[in-house]
C-alpha cells in the first residue's frame, strides 16, 4: 500500500509507491529506497505526495544520527522527484544530492512535456490517443487547436499540460541542492558480463549504473552489501514512453542485468513501478527475460501489421493491435496503458515504429507508416 515501509534487508528499506488504477485522477508514485551504511544514509528518489513524504520523514528520524546524507535521483521525471525538498530538513553534517546532467531540463515539467507532445503531434493527434476519459481529452484537443490560432501551437500546448501534471503537486525538486553525477569521476564498474560505467558512492556503498534508456539521464543502482539491484523505470513494461527514450539502451541495460543475475550478483531486486521486492534470482531472471521477449514480440507484431497494411496511421495501427489481444505480449501492453499507467499505447506504438526505422509520410498529425 502507498507509503508502506518494507524492510528488504538489514538497514535497507523500500517505501512503497503506487500505480493507481485511474492515472487520470491520481499520480503514479515511484518507490523510494532508503539505505544506511555506518553513519551514512542514502535515499534513491523521493516519490510523490504527503503519504510517501510522511514515511520518508519517519525513516529518516529513525536513522538519526546521520553524518552524511545523499539523495540520488534515478532521473528527473516528476513521479520520482516531488519530495526532493526533504533535503533541507535532514539533520546531517554533510549532504549531497545528485541527478545526471541531462535530467536538469526535465525538471521544468511544462516546458519538457510541451516539447515532447509537440514532437509526437507531428505524427498523430496525441490527445485523441487517450482511450479513457475520451471526452475530456478530445475537448482538450479542441481547445488546443482554437488556442493555437491566437498564441501559437507550442504555447497552446503548454497551457494544457497542467491537465496531466497538476495531480502531482506539490512538486519540489530542490534544484538548488542538485549536483550532476558527471561532476564526479566516472568509473568503469565491472558487474555482469559487460562492464557498466557510472559512479561509486561512499565506501563502495551504492553503485550508480549508467543506463540512459528510459530517459537521457536515467540511472540504475546497485548496493553490493545486499546484492540489491534497483532498476528504476528501466523495467517498466514500455521501453519507449517519451520521444527522448532510447529503446536500445534499455534493452542493453536489461541484458546486462540478466548477466548479473546469471553470475549470482543479484539476490534482491526492485524497480520503481512494480511495488514489490523480488528475492528469488530465478524469478528476477524470468521477469527480465519476459520484458525483453514482450518488447521483441511487440515489434514483430507491429512489423506484421504494417507489412499486411502499409500506409496506416497510428490510430489505425492501434485499432488493428486491439484485434491481436490473444497474443500475450499485446495483451500485457493493452492492459498496462492509460488509465492503468500514464502512457497511451498509441505513443508507445509511434515511438517503437520510429525506433524500428519505419518510413512515414503525410500531413502533420496524419502521418502514414510504411514497413522498414
Cβ proximity to Fe ion: between 77 and 275 the closer is 77
What x/- string results for residues 74 through 103 when contact with Fe ion is judged by CB under 5 A?
---x-x------------------------
**Closest to 106 in 3D by CA, of 178, 55, 33:** 178
What x/- string results for residues 229 through 268 when contact with Fe ion is judged by CB under 5 A?
----x-----------------------------------
Instruction: Give least dist CB 213 to Fe ion, A.
Output: 11
Query: Other CB atoms closer than 10 Å to residue 99's CB: what's the count?
Result: 28
Cβ proximity to Fe ion: between 79 and 205 the closer is 79
Cβ proximity to Fe ion: between 125 and 337 the closer is 337
Stretch that binds Fe ion, among 25-33, 95-103, 112-120, 220-228 (CB under 5 A): 25-33
Q: CB–CB of 324/349 below 8 Å?
A: no
Q: CB–CB of 301/327 below 8 Å?
A: yes
Beta sheet of 228-230, edge-to-edge order: 187-189, 196-201, 206-210, 219-223, 228-230, 268-270
**Angstrom distance (rounded) from CA 48 to CA 39:** 26
**Closest to 15 in 3D by CA, of 69, 49, 50, 56:** 56
Query: Other CB atoms closer than 10 Å to residue 361's CB: what's the count?
Result: 9
**What pairing do the DSSP bridges indicate for beta strands 92-99 and 179-180?**
parallel
Cβ proximity to Fe ion: between 82 and 207 the closer is 82
- Whether a cis peptide bond, with omega within 30° of 0, leads into 339 is yes
Distances (CA, A) of 139 to 144, 146, 163: 9, 11, 12
Cβ proximity to Fe ion: between 211 and 233 the closer is 233
Instruction: Give least dist CB 137 to Fe ion, A.
Output: 21
Instruction: Give least dist CB 64 to Fe ion, A.
Output: 29
Stretch that binds Fe ion, among 226-234, 256-264, 311-319, 358-366 (CB under 5 A): 226-234
Cβ proximity to Fe ion: between 97 and 218 the closer is 218
Stretch that binds Fe ion, among 116-124, 187-195, 225-233, 364-372 (CB under 5 A): 225-233
What x/- string results for residues 271 through 310 when contact with Fe ion is judged by CB under 5 A?
-x--------------------------------------
Stretch that binds Fe ion, among 70-78, 108-116, 150-158, 189-197 (CB under 5 A): 70-78
Q: CB–CB of 281/263 below 8 Å?
A: no
Instruction: Give least dist CB 18 to Fe ion, A.
Output: 11
User: Which residue is closest to Fe ion by CB?
Assistant: 77
Cβ proximity to Fe ion: between 245 and 258 the closer is 245
Element (H, E) at 284: helix 281-308
- Lookup result for grid cell 475537448: 139
Cβ proximity to Fe ion: between 40 and 275 the closer is 275
What x/- string results for residues 26 through 65 when contact with Fe ion is judged by CB under 5 A?
----x-----------------------------------
Query: Other CB atoms closer than 10 Å to residue 53's CB: what's the count?
Result: 21
- Nine-digit cell at 146? 482554437
Please list the helix, strand and coil fractions of the chain in percent, rounded to the nearest 5, in that order. Answer: 45, 20, 35
Interface residues toward Fe ion, by CB under 5 A: 30, 77, 79, 233, 272
Amino acid at each position: 500500500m502507498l507509503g508502506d515501509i518494507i524492510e528488504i534487508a538489514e538497514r535497507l528499506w523500500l517505501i512503497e509507491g503506487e500505480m493507481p488504477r485511474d492515472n487520470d485522477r491520481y499520480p503514479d508514485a515511484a518507490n523510494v529506497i532508503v539505505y544506511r551504511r555506518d553513519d551514512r544514509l542514502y535515499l534513491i528518489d523521493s516519490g510523490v505526495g504527503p503519504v510517501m513524504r510522511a514515511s520518508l520523514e519517519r525513516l529518516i528520524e529513525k536513522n538519526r544520527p546521520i553524518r552524511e546524507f545523499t539523495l540520488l535521483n534515478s532521473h528527473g521525471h516528476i513521479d520520482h522527484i516531488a519530495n526532493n525538498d526533504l533535503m533541507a530538513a535532514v539533520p546531517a553534517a554533510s549532504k549531497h544530492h545528485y541527478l545526471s546532467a541531462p535530467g536538469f531540463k526535465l525538471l521544468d515539467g511544462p516546458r519538457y512535456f510541451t516539447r515532447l507532445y509537440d514532437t509526437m503531434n507531428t505524427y498523430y493527434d496525441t490527445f485523441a490517443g487517450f482511450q479513457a476519459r475520451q471526452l475530456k481529452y478530445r475537448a482538450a484537443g479542441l481547445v488546443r487547436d482554437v488556442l493555437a490560432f491566437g498564441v501559437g501551437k507550442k504555447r497552446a500546448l503548454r497551457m494544457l499540460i497542467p491537465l496531466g501534471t497538476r495531480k502531482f503537486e506539490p512538486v519540489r525538486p530542490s534544484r538548488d541542492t542538485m549536483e550532476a553525477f558527471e561532476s564526479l569521476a566516472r568509473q568503469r564498474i565491472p558487474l555482469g558480463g559487460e562492464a557498466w560505467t557510472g559512479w561509486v558512492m561512499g565506501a563502495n556503498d551504492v553503485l550508480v549504473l549508467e543506463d540512459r534508456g528510459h530517459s537521457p539521464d536515467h540511472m540504475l543502482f546497485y548496493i553490493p552489501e545486499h546484492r540489491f539491484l534497483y532498476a528504476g523505470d528501466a523495467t517498466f513494461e514500455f521501453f519507449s514512453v517519451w520521444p527522448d527514450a532510447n529503446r536500445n539502451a534499455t534493452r542493453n541495460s536489461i541484458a546486462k542485468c540478466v548477466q548479473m543475475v546469471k553470475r549470482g550478483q543479484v539476490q534482491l531486486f526492485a524497480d520503481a513501478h512494480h511495488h514489490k521486492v523480488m528475492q528469488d534470482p530465478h524469478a528476477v531472471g524470468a521477469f527480465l527475460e519476459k520484458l525483453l521477449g514482450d518488447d521483441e514480440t511487440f515489434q514483430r507484431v507491429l512489423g506484421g501489421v504494417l507489412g499486411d497494411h502499409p500506409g496506416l496511421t497510428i490510430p489505425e495501427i492501434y485499432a488493428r493491435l486491439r484485434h491481436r489481444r490473444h497474443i500475450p505480449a499485446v495483451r500485457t501492453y493493452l492492459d498496462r496503458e492509460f488509465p492503468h499507467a500514464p502512457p497511451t499505447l498509441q505513443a508507445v506504438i509511434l515511438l517503437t515504429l520510429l525506433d524500428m526505422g519505419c518510413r512515414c509520410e503525410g500531413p502533420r498529425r496524419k502521418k502514414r507508416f510504411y514497413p522498414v
